[in-house]
Amino acid sequence: MNALVLAGGPPDAVAALEPGVPNKAFVHIGASTLVERTLRAVRTVPRIERIIVVAPETALADAGLADADERRPDGPRMIESLRSGLAGLAPDEPVLITASDLPILTRAALDEVIDAALARDLDLGYSCLERRYHDARFPQVPHTWARMRDGQFCGGGAVVLKPLDMAQLETLLDQLGTARKSPLRLAAIFGWGTLLRFALGRLSIDAAEQRASRLIGARAGAIRCTHPEIAINVDHPSDVAFARTFMETELLS
């Protein structure tokens, strides 16, 4: 299986902690950058034969990208970075795609995502984490939780995608980008019934999967993860402090 690590995008508040870095992926957590830690975790998965990293063109020579087999330039939006990373890959073969801000990512977490996607033959598998698994390990780390009929979940930092579905996915992402602040437009995409059930916490994961599959015309599924490392990411400067403290405590830096 091929893997794609997305390390593109402009600098943000996290990157401001380390002036001069192209974006947050290149901020250090201990001795290694976020993207270096992510790549190292992906490299530990034996079935991953080739790793492609997408990053700003000015950062493609960075030593922290050494675990990648190929380096490609990013685009102005995430969808262009995805397109850059997936270009030339077999359209019907699944690709593991991860964010680059996963400081404590593990092989076990990635194996769980890959195993589930392959077992269900998903065209698009999206990792999510149930709150009870997170709170058992990292109750001090905040997340935004979606209340589903099955429990409370947050999104994970990995997906498995067959590139043949990119056209449908790009269309949906563009529609969502336009509609994100308009309930009427969101209802036109998802349907009022789906939105209402979600708002009331009555939408099941199975129903969400069925709706997503219809929208992209492919088999979409939520991968319910039990390893909280898949969802520990760095979105805010305070997340950097946690990650550095964790590394010192676990002697992983």
For position 160, what pLDDT does the model report?
Answer: 96
CATH of 2-164+219-250, one of 3.90.550.10, 2.40.160.40, 3.60.20.10, 3.20.20.210: 3.90.550.10
| 183-190 and 166-179 helices, crossing angle to 10° | 150
| 205-216 and 183-190 helices, crossing angle to 10° | 90
For position 251, what pLDDT does the model report?
Answer: 47
For position 177, what pLDDT does the model report?
Answer: 67
d(CA 54, CA 126): 20
- In tens, the pLDDT along 84-120 reads 999 999 999 999 999 999 999 999 999 999 999 999 9
Which stretches of the chain drop beneath a pLDDT of 70?
A: 177, 180-181, 249-253
